[in-house]
């Protein structure tokens, strides 16, 4: 195997003969792996801070067993060997084929992720209310008070609570030989309407993210996939805007937080239209 001083020692049975670094960040490091039989795989090694998230992700992928998501091939401590899903993202497909085509693919992936499993859900998944802690911590701040109060009511009235991927967006859906699959789950549990909330903030920098007509059309497509009505989908999309902005501020990124809140105002406008 080509040397990589940052790579952990790997089990011999993984038969990895070469590693090519793909990404590195606060969550850890990702490699493309080549195995003795010529097949590709992905190897992920989390940072110390990301280990709990990595364990939940592994539990979710193991439970999903390849239905709508990549397969977890094996684990060694917190290092994961994962199915390789190719390099074509839904973001790339949207650029070539348009928003409507990409939205239908996203809806189909979510539908498959939410299909019943014969296995019991993992006990390690993070409840949505716990996941919203960063927003609730800012409930006394003017910009976040309404978001926090609304999210509190929303989370008290969850429907059809189930395991969630937790981070569905245009760069976390890839075109594999098995079809379109989701990668990088958070491993949550809660109302299925939350699972498409981040889609409204994507693709990054797309100006139509603040267009209420696009937001409503998007919600109409995605609501069918999660078996919730348009109002519920938009409600979670709006609550997520506050949560995402709170996360940005934790990273001291005021510009990104303000951009996120701008999208939130557009989602709220669309929600008000649907309710009227």
Q: Where are the domains of the chain?
A: 12-83, 90-275
pLDDT of residue 11 exceeding 70, the answer is yes
Q: What is the pLDDT of residue 2?
A: 47
- Give whole-number Cα distances, 236 to 16, 133, 219, 265, in Å: 42, 15, 11, 13
pLDDT digits (tens, 9 = 90+) for 165-203: 999 999 999 999 999 999 999 999 999 999 999 999 999
* CATH 1.10.3130.10, applies to 12-83: no
- Please return the burial class of 142, using the count of CB atoms within 10 Å of its CB with bins 0-12, 13-18 and 19+: exposed
Q: What DSSP character marks residue 8?
A: P
pTM of the complete model: 0.94
φ and ψ of 132, to 5 deg: -85, 15
167 as an active site residue: the answer is yes
Fold (CATH) for 90-275: Aminoglycoside 3'-phosphotransferase; Chain: A, domain 2 (3.90.1200)
More confident residue, 158 or 25: 158
- Give whole-number Cα distances, 202 to 48, 51, 92, 208, 210, in Å: 28, 26, 13, 9, 10
pLDDT digits (tens, 9 = 90+) for 105-144: 999 999 999 999 999 999 999 999 999 999 999 999 999 9
Please pick, among 53, 167, 191, 195, the residue that the annotation labels catalytic. 167
- Chain-centroid distance of CA 115 in Å reads 17
């Amino acid at each position: 195997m080509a040397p990589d001083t940052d790579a952990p020692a790997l089990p011999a049975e993984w038969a990895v003969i070469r590693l090519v670094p793909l990404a590195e960040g606060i969550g850890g490091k990702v490699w493309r792996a080549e195995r003795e039989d010529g097949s590709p795989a992905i190897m992920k090694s989390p940072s110390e801070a990301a280990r709990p998230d990595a364990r939940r992700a592994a539990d979710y992928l193991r439970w999903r067993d390849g239905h709508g998501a990549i397969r977890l091939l094996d684990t060694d401590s917190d290092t994961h060997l994962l199915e390789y899903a190719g390099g074509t993202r839904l973001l790339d497909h949207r650029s070539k084929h348009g928003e409507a085509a990409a939205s239908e693919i996203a809806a189909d992936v979510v539908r498959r992720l939410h299909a019943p499993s014969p296995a019991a859900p993992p006990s390690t998944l993070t409840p949505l209310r716990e996941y919203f802690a960063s927003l609730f911590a800012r409930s006394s701040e003017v910009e976040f008070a309404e978001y926090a109060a609304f999210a509190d009511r929303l989370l008290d009235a969850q429907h059809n609570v189930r395991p969630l991927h937790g981070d569905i967006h245009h760069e976390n859906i890839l075109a594999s030989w098995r079809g379109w699959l989701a990668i990088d789950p958070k491993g949550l549990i809660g109302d299925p309407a939350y699972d498409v909330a981040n889609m409204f903030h994507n693709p990054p920098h797309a100006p139509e993210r603040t267009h209420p007509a696009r937001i409503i059309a998007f919600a109409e497509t995605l609501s069918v996939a999660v078996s919730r009505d348009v109002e519920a989908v938009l409600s979670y999309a709006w609550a997520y805007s506050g949560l995402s902005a709170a996360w940005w501020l934790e990273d001291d990124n005021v510009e990104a937080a303000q951009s996120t809140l701008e999208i939130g105002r557009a989602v709220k406008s669309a929600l008000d239209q649907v309710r009227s």
